[in-house]
Amino acid sequence: MHLSPTRIAPPRPVRRGLAASLGLALVTAGAARAADATHPTVVELFQSQGCSSCPPANANVLAIAGRPDILALSWQITYWDDLGWKDTFDDPAYTRRQQEYAQAFGRTEVFTPEVVVNGRSDVVGGDRDELAALIRHDDRGNAGPLLTIAGDRVTVSGPSPAAGTLIELVRYDPRIIQVPVARGENAGRTLPHRNVVRQVAMLGRWTGQTRSYALPAAAEPGLGTAVLVQSGPGGAILAAATD
What CATH number does the domain containing 118 carry? 3.40.30.10
* pLDDT reading at 135 higher than 90: yes
Give the pLDDT confidence of 43-99 residue by residue, as tens digits. 999 999 999 999 999 999 999 999 999 999 999 999 999 999 999 999 999 999 999
**pLDDT at residue 19 in the model:** 32
Q: What is the DSSP string of 102-139?
A: HHHTT-SS-EESEEEETTTEEE-S--HHHHHHHHHHT-
**pLDDT at residue 3 in the model:** 63
Give the pLDDT confidence of 144-199 residue by residue, as tens digits. 899 999 999 999 999 877 778 999 999 999 999 999 999 999 999 999 999 999 99
Instruction: Identify the sign of the CA torsion 165, 168, 174, 178.
Output: negative
Residue 21 belongs to domain spanning: 2-242
In whole angstroms, what is the distance from residue 134 CA to residue 123 CA? 8
* pLDDT reading at 33 higher than 70: no
In the chain, beta strands by DSSP E: 2-3, 14-15, 41-47, 70-76, 111-112, 114-117, 121-123, 146-150, 153-157, 166-180, 190-205, 211-214, 224-230, 237-242
In whole angstroms, what is the distance from residue 96 CA to residue 210 CA? 29
* pLDDT reading at 20 higher than 90: no
Residues 163, 206 contacting (CB under 8 angstroms): no
CB burial string 109-146: b at 16+ within 10 A, e below: ebbbbbbbbbbbbbbbbbeeeebeebbebbbbeeebbe
- Write out the H or E segment, with its range, that includes residue 25: helix 22-30
- Write out the H or E segment, with its range, that includes residue 59: helix 54-64
Bridge partners of 214, per DSSP, are 153
27 contact partners, CB below 8 Å, separation of at least 6: none
**pLDDT at residue 166 in the model:** 96
Number of compact structural domains in the chain: 1
Q: If pLDDT is split at 50, 70 and 90, which confidence band does 15 have? A: very low
Distance between start and end Cα atoms, the chain: 33
**pLDDT at residue 24 in the model:** 29
